[in-house]
Structure 1
């Protein structure tokens, strides 16, 4: 029955890696091999019903601090579990701590952006909490106030991750 499950998943997921096709290397009854198979699915590790129980078990085990399961005969590597609760939109990067010690985490653009001239003209010594490092720059022969407008970071619904490399293919980050 489990071999049928593995073959069905292989057909559905269109996996091409030789270790998944070779029944002598990966056995369906091996939880670690099933986890790797499900993580290899381009549609996501829980796209198919058959993958949900082993992947949910994986998340529970990792959350308890257990190591990633193994699959004999497979060139496989996983990182230690990581935690990144925040992320920024494209063109922005996180600045500050991770927020766990009360430090403020913000998103700032990767390059200076035009901002209100009032931010560069502020000579009364007050600080602006919405733009970092406002300054005058010459652009197209005229003065322009530029800075790094900050925004709040997005909060991940699944902040834990592992990085998985299977048979030397590109490393994939899996969030849980």
Structure 2
């Protein structure tokens, strides 16, 4: 996949370079070609100083609701802008429900973890301490011992750049770009 990305990047670079060297007058689509070239960089779209102005312009234009720029001769497709303000750390999944204060988003562990014994029912009782930070507390054998296990709930992280677009180059390389 890395070689495919590099080949796509090289093809785009050659197309843009030959266009720019040809002495043609600048056209509106130059910016779109610069954006595609910069987004194709495995090191990130703003790794190089030359890419910062066209990418910053892209973020501004997308934030205003404008469409993704075009670049003729390059096979690419962009999705509609999306918005995902929250994310979870590894080992957790994002969940949401309609709580008393509206939609609430949390991160729930994808596998059971040891939790306080006070949260599990004792001797067949259905009673367990109420704790909104753990789902489904239950007794489970682990390493030959009986342990109280549950699915911890934590607050989600906030993305500094919650908007995104998915860009597909040459029909095979898709990259999610956050802005």
TM-score tier after normalising by the smaller chain length: 0.7 to 0.9
Q: CA RMSD in A?
A: 2.8
Tell me the CA shift for residue 18 of structure 1.
1.6
The unaligned stretches of length 5 or more in structure 2 are 1-5
Q: In 2, Cα distance between the equivalents of 1:93 and 1:81?
A: 22
The one of 127, 130, 135 equivalent to 2:130 is: 127
Aligned residue-pair number: 163
Give the TM-score, by structure 1 length.
0.80
Tell me the CA shift for residue 98 of structure 1.
10
**Helix, strand or coil at the partner of 1:96:** strand
Tell me the CA shift for residue 133 of structure 1.
1.1
CA pair 53-23 structure 1, distance change in 2 beyond 3 A: closer
Where do residues 137-156 of structure 1 align in structure 2 (5 Å cutoff)?
Answer: 137-156=140-159
Q: In 1, Cα distance between the equivalents of 2:55 and 2:80?
A: 17
Q: Name 1:35's counterpart in structure 2.
A: 35
Q: Name 1:75's counterpart in structure 2.
A: 75
The unaligned stretches of length 5 or more in structure 1 are 1-12
Which whole-Å deviations, capped at 9, do the CAs of 1:32-52 have from their partners, x for residues lacking one?
Answer: 000001111122111222211
Q: Name 1:65's counterpart in structure 2.
A: 65
Counterpart contact for 2:140–2:148, Cα < 8 Å:
yes
Tell me the CA shift for residue 144 of structure 1.
2.1
Q: Name 1:18's counterpart in structure 2.
A: 11
Give the TM-score, by structure 2 length.
0.79
Tell me the CA shift for residue 70 of structure 1.
1.0
Which whole-Å deviations, capped at 9, do the CAs of 1:93-138 have from their partners, x for residues lacking one?
Answer: 1111599x83221111111112111110375565211101111223
